[in-house]
Amino acid sequence: MSIVPAQEALRWAKSTYSAGEGQCLEWAPGHAAFTGQVLVRDSKTPHAPYLTLTPESFAGLVSLAKAHG
């Protein structure tokens, strides 16, 4: 079991496709690096629950978003 520093686990990064239009996904890359689980949340509701994805599922989500932008 990996220990995740609190600052890294909770540091969220916006999608590079974010255009400031309020339709942004954020992910926690530090958490992903330490645990292999990709946390994803809606930037409009940062205190709401988030998704926990496998790296493969996250890659599929990114591909879907790119295809249907």
Decide: 32 and 38 in contact? Cβ < 8 Å: yes
- Read off the pTM: 0.74
Q: H or E segment at 25?
A: strand 25-27
- The partner residues of 27 in beta bridges, in order of sequence, read 13, 40
Per residue in 31-43, pLDDT (tens digit) is 999 899 999 998 8
* pLDDT over 90 at 1, yes or no: no
CA distance 40 to 29: 10
